[in-house]
Amino acid sequence: MPVLFPVGALTPRSVQSLSDSLISLLINDPSPAALSQAVTHSRRARQHPWRSYFLFSPRSHQKPKIAVPALAPSTPPPVIFVFAGQGPQHISMGKRLFHAYHTFRQTVLEMDAIYQSLVGVSLVESTGLFRESTPKIPEGIWSAEITLPAMTIVQIALYDLLISIGVKPRALIGHSAGETALIYASGAGSKAMALELAIARGRSMKLAESAENGMAALGCGLNTAIGLIEQAKRKGDGVLEIGAINSPDAVLISGDGALLDHLVDIARVDGIFARRIQSLVPSHSSLMDSCREQYMEGVTAVFSRHGGSHRPIIRTYSTVAGQPRITTRFTPRYFWDNLRNPVHFHQGTTSVLDDFPSAVFVEISPHPALSSYLASSVGHNRVLCPMRRPKTPSDTDAEALAFTRTVGDLIVLGVNQIDLTSLYGRPARDPTYDIPYPFTERYFPMRIDGPRSRSGALRDGSSLHLQINAKTHPDLAQHVINGEPIMPGAGFLDMVSGTDSRFLRIFGVSDTRDPPPTLSLRSCKRVRVLYGT
């Protein structure tokens, strides 16, 4: 598994130098003790303005690539969690995180036990999800009875994993079924309640499932989509309705399968991106009215079993048409509107950006599904997804790479509360990895008779003799490093620039006895200064 090593310094050049030194040490000693030093270096990186990272794997024979150093903002950006709905699920989702990270695995097992107590079988065992063994369900489109609980478990496990390393959101927003896991993340309900809602939702939506009906994605604006719907309806009777507005140039359509196929064909002829998405349910359309009674009955029962106000603790933005901009309370009716009404995702994210202009979005999903819509508004560097579907079956580390890169990107973007201890353990101090800072030595001529400086911290620097000790300057005696009071280098420079005397007498900060011998500056030809490259 790749190990994340963040690196920070005062300049990009120093970041590169420190990274090269650290990589050399790791290549020579790729032991678990060495890898645990990632925790120490991540803490140091958070204290510097210029940051980067690299991923090191003991099994790899290639030298790690160092991310381009970036200047972190002085104020950490607010992190917004975005919970995706149906569509990005796949048979390998969560498998590598399940085996690599204790927190993710424990959450999956905890929720699988809840699922088994409610349904009578283990979701993990009955489907093969998260296991290295051969899956027991086919890749492709699954029934909502499996998709919704599986997605909820993955999203909550990913949320818990991010929280365990200190990635805490300032606000939340969900898309369609993504608001099921969001009820837990917002503090409005427990994990058990979120999973029960997913199960109840899946059972009722099964009544509306059809091999023909479903949804389609269009790469165009709302007005263009309405025009395409009108053209497709001329081919026959049926339902075609706006299901979601994801961005100014991305719309989802729900409805009858035959009309959806006509819609896709018409759009492609016009040069518009169009494709059917992985769903057997025409969510967010009038075709869902057939399951309303069972849906409300099941969801209401869940709310009855789990008491409380169901008010979010974390600021939560709604994407449900007809609901307030900020969700103040979850109810059974809210969750029906969430399934039946169009999703106003673009409007919701616009509201987030109005309140948090510098926000960084983290998509809580097994694969990026909403990131491209967000990137069109804020740029790709401020939209991250910690999970990614492997391109090939042999690409076993794709998911772990996506997670570690996301954490590295968050550190580079200025998120300072991240602590990798829960991932890699508490490292014992190893002097081998205390890499000296790459200072550059330069020499400057020292002018004894130059102009006086009266603006320094030590304003009596122009006097014939300057005496400093713990009594005259008690604040300096508090500047202790390794148990010894130290005179800051800036003070020496201030004294040099502020005196025109032939001699300068300096007393040790901790020495209140007789002064040490006089220090002659006349014999000094130049002063040696170390500073960051």
162 lies in the same domain as 261: no
* 175 and 230 inside one domain: no
How many structural domains are present in the chain? 4
H or E stretch covering 371: helix 371-378
Please determine, for residue 334, whether its predicted confidence score (pLDDT) is greater than 60: yes
Task: Specify the CATH number for the domain of residue 240.
Answer: 3.30.70.250
pLDDT at 177 over 80: yes
3-state secondary structure (DSSP) of residue 367 = coil
Residue 487 phi/psi, 5-degree rounding, is -80, 120
Kind plus residue range of the DSSP H or E element containing 399: helix 398-412
Instruction: Look at residue 401 and tell me if it is in a domain.
Output: no
Q: What global pTM score does this model have?
A: 0.82
Q: Is 525 helix (H, G, I), strand (E, B) or coil?
A: coil
Of 252, 276, 300, the last residue of a domain is 276
DSSP string for residues in 133-177: SPPSS-SS---HHHHHHHHHHHHHHHHHHHHHTT---SEEEE-TT
pLDDT band at 141 (very low <50, low <70, confident <90, very high): confident
Q: Report, as an integer, the average pLDDT of 513-522.
A: 42
Q: Are residues 171 and 220 in the same domain?
A: no
Q: Is the pLDDT of residue 362 over 60?
A: yes
Q: Are residues 222 and 190 in the same domain?
A: no
Q: What is the pLDDT of residue 446?
A: 58
Indicate whether 290 and 374 sit together in one domain. Answer: yes
Query: Is the separation of the CB atoms in 379 and 399 below 8 Å?
Result: no
Q: Residue 255 pairs with which residues in a beta bridge?
A: 214, 240
The H-or-E segment that residue 80 falls in is: strand 79-83
Give the separation between CA 223 and CA 263, rounded to whole angstroms: 14
**Pair (65, 83) in one structural domain:** no
Mean pLDDT of the region 346-375: 95
What's the chain's average pLDDT? Answer: 85
Residues 182 and 85 in one domain: yes
Strand partners, 9: 50
Q: How far from 146 is each of 122, 123, 130, 279, 420, CA to CA, in Å?
A: 11, 8, 14, 12, 33
Asked if residues 424 and 3 have their Cβ atoms less than 8 Å apart, the reply is yes
Between 220-224, 238-242, 355-359, 465-469, the lowest mean confidence (pLDDT) is in: 465-469
Is there a domain that residue 48 lies in? yes
Whether 514 has a pLDDT exceeding 50, the answer reads no
pLDDT confidence of residue 449: 53
Mean pLDDT, rounded, for 67-80: 94
* CATH of residue 316: 3.40.366.10
* Residue 513 in domain: yes
In this structure, are 150 and 259 located in the same domain?
Answer: no
Main-chain dihedrals φ then ψ at residue 360, nearest 5 degrees: -110, 125
Q: What is the pLDDT of residue 331?
A: 96
Residue 392 lies in a domain: no
Range of the domain at 37: 3-75+424-433
Q: Does residue 26 sit in the same domain as residue 148?
A: no
- Residue where a domain stops, chosen among 276, 297, 318: 276
Q: How far is CA 261 from CA 8, 213, 492, in A?
A: 52, 10, 78
Q: Please report whether residue 500 resides in a domain.
A: yes
pLDDT for position 497: 57
pLDDT at 174 over 60: yes
User: Do residues 9 and 60 share a domain?
Assistant: yes
Does 85 share its domain with 131? yes
Residues contacting 500, CB < 8 A, separation 6+: 448, 449, 450, 452, 462
Same-domain pairing of 508 and 448 = yes
Residue 405 lies inside a defined structural domain of this protein: no
> Quick count: other Cβ atoms within 10 Å of Cβ 210?
12
Residue 390 lies in a domain: no
How many angstroms separate the Cα of 184 from the Cα of each of 330, 412, 522? 11, 28, 72
Sign of CA dihedral 154, 156, 161, 162: positive
For the chain, state the CA radius of gyration: 30
Beta-strand relationship, 70-71 and 50-56: antiparallel
Distance CA 397, CA 431 (A): 31
Most confident of 57-66, 445-454, 472-481: 57-66
Residue 85 in this model has a pLDDT that exceeds 90: yes
404 within some domain: no
